[in-house]
């Protein structure tokens, strides 16, 4: 199960979040499954009284050695057979017949798949907690910067103006949609796996469905309609929700890296001693959080693809495809949790520079407002003529390093037409003001904040 470890060289970057998909967590999740199964079979009358409690007391990862179990896994293709033997040996002698409750009716895949659901539940809780912080910070930025005008950028070039509040509202909406998706997966797609050797629970006779129901009750997991040994859509759904969350967080991090460039400098990460330092260039303050978020999120599509590819599994139990899920599933949970944790920190400490935003917008001397000016002139000159006039004026403004207003007024033919139509220089200068061309920006921010508030109220209620 070995994946990204918190104690490894890169652990503080890629395993920063509270999700735990480590070997130790997997071992405890498998032991928790075995213990819950023992309690279930006892409750179903298929094991002696006290056996469930005895197995539960013995099912602590502190009593087992991952290295030894890992070595034994090479002989059987997974660590469960060795774990069952070790757990049975750990049982106290006074509890007669307790060994009969260990692994009763189960196969190795039942234990590992159910453990995967427990691992996922804990990880999703951790991710959702960090995303809640990130969303709250985005909402604050959206409200506080609703009127902070900045350059909209399309194809990496300045376009029409927007506000930073609208940018933050877009981030907020993406995070809230991710949270909704993760919530749905957590509440509807996590379920026990309990089917026995080939999905029939034949070894339990008529008691199979009852034991399965009790196992689900013991673990707080749903009981599926059927065992899902080779129906891997639950794994695929978890992976898809994680990957889409990474997509949302990666977009935010990419925006921050672009807006934090020296030449742009509209956003900055929170400063701290030594934060963002370069090994070669003492002057630098690199956007560490945004960079690390991207380093996490860029791994997600490949991991999701591996898990989706592994979903094609043969007959009642797969040869290899199931086994291939364990590491990418662990890594995807860990990386998404890390990206979420970094995002909470990034957005909470994000520093906005409205003055720089305004300066960058004005550096182009009104060119981003060309569309608005053309809209103003279209009723006077006709849409195509207005477009051509502004296109020529924009080219002249760029070539002569003058404002677009000056370029329009310097064109004698155009100036005469505008004068005849009663369009003054003041009218053009008014149209060049960025605040005059924000369209539905305020309404869109209001909608994003309203939807966010409604979501938070629903969660708290």
149 DSSP β-pair partners: 163
377 phi and psi angles, rounded to 5 deg: -90, -15
Q: Among residues 187, 203, 278, 450, which one is catalytic? A: 278
Q: What are the residues whose beta carbons fall under 8 Å from the beta carbon of 261, sequence distance 6 or more?
A: none
The answer to whether residue 6 is catalytic is no
CA-based nearest residue to 83, from 155, 30, 38, 37: 30
Q: How many helices (H) and strands (E) does the chain have?
A: 19, 4
Please say whether the dihedral angle defined by the alpha carbons of residues 135, 141, 147 and 151, taken in this order, is positive or negative.
Answer: negative
d(Cα 343, Cα 231) in Å, to the nearest integer? 34
Angstrom CA distances, 193 to 115, 190, 327, stand at 9, 10, 19
Angstrom CA distances, 183 to 127, 128, 174, 206, 216, stand at 10, 8, 14, 35, 19
- Collapsing DSSP to helix, strand or coil, 9 comes out as coil
Q: What are the residues whose beta carbons fall under 8 Å from the beta carbon of 138, sequence distance 6 or more?
A: 168, 169, 171, 172, 175, 347
CB neighbour class for 461 (10 Å; exposed up to 12, middle 13-18, buried from 19): exposed
Residue length of the chain: 461
Q: Among residues 121, 147, 317, 425, which one is catalytic? A: 317
DSSP element (H, E) containing 351: strand 351-352
At 335, list the tokens. 């990386």
- Contact by Cβ (8 Å): 216, 222: yes
At 274, list the tokens. 């030594």
CA-based nearest residue to 268, from 258, 260, 276: 260
d(Cα 215, Cα 219) in Å, to the nearest integer? 6
d(Cα 194, Cα 44) in Å, to the nearest integer? 15
Q: Which residue's structure tokens are 């060309």?
A: 370
**β pairing state of 351-352 and 157-163:** unpaired
Q: How far apart are the first and last CA of the chain?
A: 38
d(Cα 104, Cα 106) in Å, to the nearest integer? 6
The answer to whether residue 317 is catalytic is yes
CB neighbour class for 136 (10 Å; exposed up to 12, middle 13-18, buried from 19): middle
- Positions annotated as catalytic residues are 278, 317
């Amino acid at each position: 199960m070995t994946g990204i470890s918190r104690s490894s060289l890169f652990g503080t970057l890629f395993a920063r979040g509270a999700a735990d998909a480590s070997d130790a967590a997997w071992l405890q999740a498998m032991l928790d499954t075995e213990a819950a199964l023992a309690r279930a079979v006892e409750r179903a009358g298929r094991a002696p009284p006290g056996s469930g409690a005895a197995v539960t007391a013995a099912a602590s990862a502190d009593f087992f050695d991952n290295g030894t179990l890992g070595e034994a896994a090479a002989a059987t293709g997974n660590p469960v057979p060795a774990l069952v033997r070790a757990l049975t040996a750990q049982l106290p002698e006074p509890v007669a017949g307790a060994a009969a409750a260990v692994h009763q009716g189960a196969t190795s895949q039942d234990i590992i798949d159910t453990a995967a659901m427990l691992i996922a539940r804990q990880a999703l809780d951790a991710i959702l907690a960090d995303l809640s912080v990130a969303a709250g910070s985005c909402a604050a930025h959206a409200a506080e910067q609703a009127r902070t005008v900045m350059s909209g950028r399309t194809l990496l070039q300045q376009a029409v103006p927007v506000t930073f509040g609208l940018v933050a509202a877009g981030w907020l909406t993406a995070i809230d949609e991710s949270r909704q998706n993760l919530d749905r997966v957590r509440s509807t797609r996590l379920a026990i796996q309990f089917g026995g050797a080939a999905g029939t629970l034949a070894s339990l006779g008529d008691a199979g469905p009852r034991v399965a129901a009790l196992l689900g009750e013991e673990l707080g997991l749903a009981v599926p309609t059927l065992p899902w040994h080779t129906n891997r859509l639950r794994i695929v759904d978890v992976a898809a929700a994680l990957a889409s969350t990474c997509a949302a967080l990666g977009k935010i991090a990419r925006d921050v890296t672009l807006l934090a460039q020296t030449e742009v400098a509209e956003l900055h990460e929170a400063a701290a001693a030594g934060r963002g330092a370069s090994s070669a260039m003492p002057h630098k303050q690199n956007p560490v959080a945004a960079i690390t978020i991207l380093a996490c999120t860029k791994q997600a599509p490949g991991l999701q693809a591996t898990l989706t590819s592994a979903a094609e599994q043969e007959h009642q139990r797969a040869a290899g495809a199931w086994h291939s899920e364990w590491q990418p599933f662990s890594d995807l949970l860990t990386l998404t949790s890390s990206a979420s944790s970094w995002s909470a920190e990034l957005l909470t400490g994000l520093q906005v520079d409205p003055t720089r935003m305004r300066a960058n917008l004005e550096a182009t001397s009104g060119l981003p407002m060309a569309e608005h000016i053309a809209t103003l002139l279209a009723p006077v000159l006709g849409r195509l003529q207005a477009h051509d006039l502004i296109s020529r004026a924009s080219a002249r403004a760029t070539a002569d390093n003058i404002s677009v207003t000056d370029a329009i007024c310097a064109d004698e033919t155009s100036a005469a037409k505008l004068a005849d139509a009663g369009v003054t220089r003041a009218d053009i200068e008014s149209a060049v003001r960025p605040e005059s061309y924000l369209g539905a920006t305020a309404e869109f921010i209001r909608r994003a904040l309203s939807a966010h508030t409604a979501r938070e109220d629903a969660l708290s209620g």
